[in-house]
Structure 1
Amino acid sequence: MTLLTVTGLTITGRHLLVDDVDLTVAAGETLGLVGESGSGKSLTARAVAGLLPKGLTATGSVLLGDGAGMQLIGARERVLRSVRGNRISLLMQDPFTMLNPLRTAGLHIAESLPKRPRGGTLREEVVRRLAEVGIDDPAVADRYPFQLSGGMRQRVAMAAALAGDPELLIADEPTTALDATTQHEILMLLRKLQEARGMGVVLITHDLRVAFELCDRVSVMYAGRIVERGPGAHVAKEPAHPYTSGLLAALPSVTRTLPVLTGIPGNVPPAAEVTEVCAFAARCGQATAECTKARPVLRELGAGRHTACLHEVRPRNDHAPEPAPAVQTSRPFFTAEPGEPLLRIEDLRKAYGTHVALGGVALEVRAGESVGVVGESGSGKTTLSRCVLGLVTPDGGRIELAGEDITPRGRRTRAARAHRLVQCVFQDPSTSLNPALTVGSTLAEAAAQGPAEGRLSVADLLDLVGLPAAYAVRKPRALSGGERQRVAIARALAVRPALLICDEPVASLDVSVQAHVLELLRGVSRDLGTSLLFITHDLAVVRQIAERMVVLFKGAVVESGETAGLLDRPRHDYTRRLVASVPPTP
């Protein structure tokens, strides 16, 4: 039975945003929507639920139900309210966008129930709904969102989204911010609930591993259009559009270290600028003059496969690509004998009340080396980095950088040299960039904090991270997410640090942009002599970036060693669980 039929969906505001999209979802089926940021995935989902932002208009057809169905395009808000939560429900990436911080978990679920339960109390029904999403502790119903872990918040958000027993669930990046094991648990739970209810699911994600593991069919979006669709297994094995092939080629592998990480050059163009041509032509290595003369239509390849490419797509290129060019600068940032210890942490301890964040952690980073730190949320990764940065005062232990004791001790101010020796790149570059300043002003201000000798100019710093000098006059809002992260890296490198701490720097980036940023960080370590302490929950990423790695679990190092050997032959049960939770690379 068909639950949803979308035909010719077009979304416009000041400009065209989504262009003539067709989708269908059957009962019990999972449809994946994949593509880079700016492709129109989330806007398509919001149009289906009647939740487009003000100023945007949807045309075309969105039919809910089999046969004639209920037309949602142009429906009154009263009709849409009767549908949302009851027949169609949304599960968002950040549960804080769904959960009111002033309401308990139980109240969120209770207010989403379609009617009062029969044969039991409201409390019993709330507890039953929590148990359905794997929360067996009834006391969770009385807790507020800030009292729950990220995985628990997402489970509560899922319970609230499913409380109305919807026919169709739209899950928009539901596991992007979660660690590997929690992500795996949430996805397996979603699959189990879907099978038990016969529910249709639209899964929006930029994680191709998740899409191809979970989805029956996949539609690939680019610049507001569907450029390829078909059964997930077939699309993963033999992509029929160069864009899909490029996304798959950019995926990091957890089973092998790739000599070069290759992303797709350029950015997604606005849909309004490519209405009469192949939208991907400017970024495609197979493009011909024919591609810029007319817009390719989706043509059928058989077995439910469609592609909007005029040509036969070349097979995926799995041989070793050309080495990446060296990151250019006049000399290494930090001179030390290879193998000489740069960062040494001994018996580092930190507790917050009764919660032990770090229980005696020891690790070492050598000059020019990249060391990965992996573990679930709450394992102590971020507390460790904040201690090294001087943002958290540990309860005990010692932190030594380049032979100098930099352990934070309450009110004592660290020497300026210590601040210059270590810098950080965060997950969200917005935390590092002042939106009121131009890129050039930000970089000049940062460079002035470093030593005068060998100081890099703004143009030098932009060139260092692969951005044109003309970007100096732009403000952060005029840049893409990947470009903002490159500027954040340039800002961190402006003081010529010996150690760069990277705290989930690619977690929120599209796979192609992620490949570019990881290759840049590889070059920073290789060519500038800068050591990396790379914090991540993504084992495929740590395989590509780190020579050695340590595994944190509940504030303790449970395993450490050379990255490839540790991931190929994990010894600790916790490490084995982490490795087993990673979806296979297509």
Structure 2
Amino acid sequence: MTLLDVTGLTVTGRHLVVDGVDLTVSAGETVGLVGESGSGKSLTARAVAGLLPKGMTATGSVTLSGLRLLGARERVLRSVRGSRIALLMQDPFAMLNPLITAGAHIAESLPRTGPVRRDRAWRRTEVARRLAEVGIDDPSVSGRYPFQLSGGMRQRIALAAALARDPELLIADEPTTALDATTQHEILTLLREVQRARGMGVLLITHDLRVAFEMCDRVAVMYAGRIVESGPGFDVAKVPAHPYTSGLLAALPSATVTLPRLEGIPGSVPSAGDVTGTCAFADRCSQVDADCGHARPPLREITPGRHTACLYEVRPRPRVEQPPAALREPSPGAPLLTIDDLSKRYGEHTALGGVSLSVGEGESVGVVGESGSGKTTLARCVLGLAVPDGGRIELAGLDLTRRGRRGDRAHRLVQCVFQDPSTSLNPSLTVGATLAEAAAQGTREGRLSVPELLDLVGLPASYAERRPRALSGGERQRVAIARALAVRPALLICDEPVASLDVSVQAHVLELLRTVVRDLGTSLLFITHDLAVVRQITNRTVVLLKGKIVEEGKTPQILDTPSHPYTQKLLASVPPTP
């Protein structure tokens, strides 16, 4: 039975952003909506829920079990949201009120009729039942505030609150993007179990293709405001029928093999309004033909249940699965970074409990583990952003653990690239000003000019005049890498640098970092929870658990034949690469 029926959905603000989307979700079915940032996925979901930003309007038809939602009065939409349609967003910390407890969040979301307002005992029992449904059996959790909970626990609370009124449809917008692999696996497993128990429909919006193909019965691929391919998840993954889908799949890193080159799709997603009369993907397509620019290809059925908006049969991109030369035979020089018995505590919590590791000259070392394992604390200690309680850090002969002794040399020796480039770039400065300011901190001999830095990270010289807000997420991350390289550091620390990027942009950034290691001889300390990424970028891997190293060795050995149960658990949590 069709639960959600979307027909001809168009969303317009200052520009056209969603252009004639058709989509259905049946009761008990999970439908994935995938595509790069800017494709229109989240705005499609917001239009379904009647939550479009001010200044945007939607036309077409959206019905839920026959009830027309598009064009309905706000009073009708308010009665539907929460009770019949619920939303689970990417960042649970932003969804939860920091001033009220987990239990209060769920109680606030319970049905507003019946005994909930009058009977406190009933409300406590119901909150406990809802917590148990999302795998939280500890009753004390209901009395904790969001800041006292881990990311995975906050997402469980957000899910319990979303399900409190027993909705027919759950719209989950990137619900696991910010979570580590094991927590992501737990949340997705939980979501699947809850859905089956309730017979609930789920619209899952994600740019993580592994998650989409593992979780979804059907997948719709969205590009420039349109659906360009749809069909059963397994079929779409194995035999993509549109060049865009094929390109996304080819860009996926693998946790089982090291790819010789990570191939992202060139260019970026165009505005839907700029490609209304042509194939939206033509400018980025390796199979483009003269006929592609003449008219907009219709979404046509090629086999029962399979649709594509391409005129031709797609030639899948081959993936040559062998180690690239840069990673096949690592030959690091003398130790550049030496960490010996490093410890750090925050109150009663031990973040690092005697960590020892080294990074050689020209070597790439990965640090993996769940959230809270101590990865970021380790990076902060090396960068001088946290003072260790014990141990020693030595970089190129300089003792970094002695207070007041870091100075300009330490600043030039080590730089960092963080997860979110938008928070690490000054929005008021142009790209050129940002890079020139960074380069001025380096020595005259090793200093790179702004054009040289932009060329190094694959950006045109004209980008020097742009500000961060005029760049895509991938372009901002390239600028952040260029800024970090401006002083020609001996060591580059990358803390989850591709965690929030689309798969195609991620491939471009990882290939760039490979080039930096190979051509500049820069050493890399790469922190991530993504084992597929660590496979592609590092020579050696260190596995952290609760502030201690539980396994270390050459990356292929760690990932192919893990010896520690914790490493085995991490690998088991990685969704298979299609």
By the TM > 0.5 criterion, same fold? Answer: yes
Q: 2:257·2:321 contact (CA, 8 Å) conserved in 1?
A: no
Cα separation, 1, equivalents of 2:511 and 2:24: 38
Q: 1:444·1:457 contact (CA, 8 Å) conserved in 2?
A: yes
Query: Which residue among 56, 80, 86 is the counterpart of 1:89?
Result: 86
1:493 aligns with 2:485: yes
Give the structure 2 partner of residue 28 of structure 1: 28
Give the structure 1 partner of residue 50 of structure 2: 50
Give the structure 1 partner of residue 357 of structure 2: 363
Give the structure 1 partner of residue 386 of structure 2: 392
Displacement of 1:253: 0.1
Give the structure 1 partner of residue 182 of structure 2: 181
**Superposition map of 1:459-538 within 5 A:** 459-538=451-530
Give the structure 1 partner of residue 63 of structure 2: 63
Query: Secondary structure of the equivalent of 1:440?
Result: helix
Residue identity in the other structure for 1:352: Y
Residues 321 and 180 (structure 1), Cα distance of their counterparts in 2 relative to 1, 3 Å cut: closer
1:37 aligns with 2:37: yes
Cα separation, 2, equivalents of 1:408 and 1:76: 65
Give the structure 1 partner of residue 347 of structure 2: 353
Give the structure 2 partner of residue 574 of structure 1: 566
**Superposition map of 1:329-344 within 5 A:** 338-344=332-338
Displacement of 1:431: 2.5
Deviations 1:123-146 (A, max 9, x none): 111011111101111111111100
Percent identity at matched positions? Answer: 79
1:101 aligns with 2:67: no
Query: Which residue among 56, 70, 73 is the counterpart of 1:76?
Result: 73
Deviates more, 1:425-434 or 1:540-549: 425-434
Query: Which residue among 538, 541, 552 is the counterpart of 1:549?
Result: 541
Q: 2:259·2:319 contact (CA, 8 Å) conserved in 1?
A: no
Query: Secondary structure of the equivalent of 1:239?
Result: coil
Give the structure 1 partner of residue 416 of structure 2: 424
Cα separation, 2, equivalents of 1:160 and 1:47: 22
Q: 2:32·2:203 contact (CA, 8 Å) conserved in 1?
A: yes
Query: Secondary structure of the equivalent of 2:107?
Result: helix
Displacement of 1:403: 1.3
Give the structure 2 partner of residue 230 of structure 1: 231
Residues 322 and 553 (structure 1), Cα distance of their counterparts in 2 relative to 1, 3 Å cut: closer
**Superposition map of 1:243-262 within 5 A:** 243-262=244-263
Query: Secondary structure of the equivalent of 1:230?
Result: strand
Deviations 1:387-418 (A, max 9, x none): 00000001000000001111153xx2522101
Deviations 1:144-187 (A, max 9, x none): 10010000000000000000100000000000000000000000
Give the structure 2 partner of residue 113 of structure 1: 110
Deviations 1:465-502 (A, max 9, x none): 00000000000000000000000000000011000000
Deviations 1:329-362 (A, max 9, x none): xxxxxxxx94200000000000111110000001
Residue identity in the other structure for 1:19: D
Q: 1:89·1:166 contact (CA, 8 Å) conserved in 2?
A: yes
Q: TM-score, normalised by structure 1?
A: 0.96
Q: 2:258·2:323 contact (CA, 8 Å) conserved in 1?
A: no
Cα separation, 1, equivalents of 2:124 and 2:321: 59
Aligned length: 570
Please list every run of 5 or more consecutive structure 1 residues that lacks an aligned counterpart in the other structure: 326-336
Q: 1:116·1:122 contact (CA, 8 Å) conserved in 2?
A: no
Deviations 1:536-566 (A, max 9, x none): 0000000000100000000000000000111
Give the structure 1 partner of residue 308 of structure 2: 307
Cα separation, 2, equivalents of 1:398 and 1:315: 51
Cα separation, 2, equivalents of 1:444 and 1:121: 63
Please list every run of 5 or more consecutive structure 2 residues that lacks an aligned counterpart in the other structure: none
Cα separation, 2, equivalents of 1:104 and 1:324: 53
Q: TM-score, normalised by structure 2?
A: 0.97
Cα separation, 2, equivalents of 1:270 and 1:390: 43
Cα separation, 2, equivalents of 1:297 and 1:536: 41
**Superposition map of 1:439-458 within 5 A:** 439-458=431-450
1:145 aligns with 2:146: yes
Give the structure 2 partner of residue 334 of structure 1: none
Q: 1:41·1:204 contact (CA, 8 Å) conserved in 2?
A: yes
Cα separation, 2, equivalents of 1:85 and 1:116: 16
Displacement of 1:318: 2.3
Deviations 1:240-276 (A, max 9, x none): 0000000000000000000100000000000000000
Cα separation, 2, equivalents of 1:485 and 1:205: 20
Deviations 1:83-125 (A, max 9, x none): 0000000000001221011111111100111144589621111
Cα separation, 1, equivalents of 2:236 and 2:322: 23
Query: Secondary structure of the equivalent of 1:535?
Result: strand
**Superposition map of 1:220-299 within 5 A:** 220-299=221-300
Cα separation, 2, equivalents of 1:284 and 1:504: 29
Cα separation, 1, equivalents of 2:334 and 2:48: 58
Query: Secondary structure of the equivalent of 1:121?
Result: helix
Cα separation, 1, equivalents of 2:401 and 2:221: 49
Displacement of 1:324: 10
Q: CA RMSD in A?
A: 1.4
Displacement of 1:455: 1.4
Q: 1:390·1:408 contact (CA, 8 Å) conserved in 2?
A: no
Cα separation, 1, equivalents of 2:297 and 2:127: 51
Query: Secondary structure of the equivalent of 2:463?
Result: helix
Q: 1:393·1:408 contact (CA, 8 Å) conserved in 2?
A: no
Query: Secondary structure of the equivalent of 2:17?
Result: strand
Residue identity in the other structure for 1:344: T
Q: 1:7·1:61 contact (CA, 8 Å) conserved in 2?
A: yes
Q: 2:9·2:58 contact (CA, 8 Å) conserved in 1?
A: yes
Displacement of 1:432: 2.0
Q: 1:2·1:27 contact (CA, 8 Å) conserved in 2?
A: yes
Residue identity in the other structure for 2:9: L
Cα separation, 2, equivalents of 1:532 and 1:488: 15
Q: 2:222·2:229 contact (CA, 8 Å) conserved in 1?
A: yes
Cα separation, 2, equivalents of 1:233 and 1:32: 12
Cα separation, 2, equivalents of 1:7 and 1:413: 65
Cα separation, 1, equivalents of 2:57 and 2:31: 24
Cα separation, 2, equivalents of 1:112 and 1:500: 46
Deviates more, 1:124-133 or 1:225-234: 124-133
